[in-house]
Homo-oligomer: A and B are copies of this chain.
Amino acid sequence: MFYHDNKLQYPVRVDTPSPLFAKMLQQAIGGVEGEIRVCLQYLFQSFGARGPARYRDMLMDTGTEELGHIQMLATAVALNLEGSSAAVQEEAARANPMVAAILGGMEPRQYLSAGMAALAADANGVPFNGSHVYASGNIVADMYSNVAAEATGRALACRLFDMTDYPGMKDMLRYLIARDTMHQQQWLAVIEELGGHQANLPIPNSFDQSQELLDVSYDFFATGIDGTETPAGRWTSGPSLDGKGEYRVRRAVPFGDEPKLAPPSPSGYAQRQQMTADEADTSVTVMTTGDTQS
Contacts and interface: CB of A to CB of B under 8 A. Distances in A.
Contacts of A94: 165
B182 A288 contact: no
Given A7-B254, A152-B145, A264-B137, A181 B212 contact: yes
B217 A9 contact: no
B192 A4 contact: no
A108 B11 CA distance: 26
A211 to B, nearest CB: 6
A279 B54 CA distance: 9
A288 to B, nearest CB: 5
Contact of A2 (B2, B113, B184, B230): B2
Interface in A221-272: 221-225, 227-237, 240-242, 247-259, 261-272
A133 to B, nearest CB: 4
Contacts of A271: 51, 138-140, 194, 200, 203-206
Contacts of A82: 261-262, 265
A281 interface: yes
B4 A228 contact: yes
Contacts of A97: 265, 267
B281 A231 contact: yes
A7 B75 CA distance: 29
B6 A289 contact: no
A99 B159 CA distance: 9
A108 B22 CA distance: 12
